[in-house]
Amino acid sequence: MGFLSAEEKGLVNGLWGKVNVDEVGGEALGRLLVVYPWTQRFFQSFGDLSSADAIMSNSKVKAHGKKVLNSFSDGLKNIDDLKGAFAKLSELHCDKLHVDPENFRLLGNVLVCVLAHHFGHDFNPQVQAAFQKVVAGVANALAHKYH
């Protein structure tokens, strides 16, 4: 068995197929900045982040969220080699962006909350568990090249 069992892959891909990646990206990044305001430290150039409403409607937040989640989505296609898939991005986040990997864990959990919010009962405990593995795997892969 690889990183996810066949059943878990089915659950993840089944749900992900219904996700509007662009929209969910903006929502997840926005909520990260609202719920954990210290994460705003990476986005000083994004303009108005002064309130929850300002953050959620900020066009730079939406654009960046879209970018981040499309990258995550690409990574899902290489679920059995996340470290390979995210190697370059890992180097970038360490050497250029200087992002503490704890932030990947925070974003991963916010993404899980957004999926729960969108899918309600369909986001049952088994689906959540599979996604928790995925977000943990992606966070670890993004942290893998740190030095």
Which residues bind to another protein, rule: CB under 8 A?
30-31, 34-35, 52, 55-56, 109, 112-114, 116-121, 123, 125-126, 128-129, 132
Minimum distance between the CB of residue 81 and another protein, rounded to whole angstroms?
Answer: 23
Query: Min. distance of Cβ 147 from another protein in angstroms?
Result: 26
Q: In whole angstroms, how close is the CB of 5 to another protein at the nearest point?
A: 14
| Smallest separation, CB 55 to another protein (Å) | 7
Q: Minimal CA–CA distance to 58: which of 41, 36, 34?
A: 34
Cβ contact 56:34 at 8 Å = yes
Q: Cα(114)–Cα(133) distance, rounded to whole angstroms?
A: 16
Q: Which is nearer to another protein, 6 or 38 (CB)?
A: 38
Nearest in space to 139 (alpha carbons), one of 89, 90, 104, 109? 104
Which one, 103 or 109, has the nearer CB to another protein?
109
Question: Which CB atom, from 87 or from 113, has the smaller least distance to another protein?
Answer: 113
Name the token pair of 58.
Answer: 């900020």
How far apart are CB 20 and another protein at their closest, in Å? 15
Helix axes 59-76 and 6-16, enclosed angle (nearest 10)? 150
Tell me how far apart the alpha carbons of residues 51 and 106 are, in angstroms, rounded to a whole number. 20
Residue 55 vs 94, nearer CB to another protein: 55
Q: Are 16 and 73 in contact (CB under 8 A)?
A: yes
Contact 115, 123 (CB under 8 A): yes
Closer CB to another protein, 22 or 91, in the complex? 22
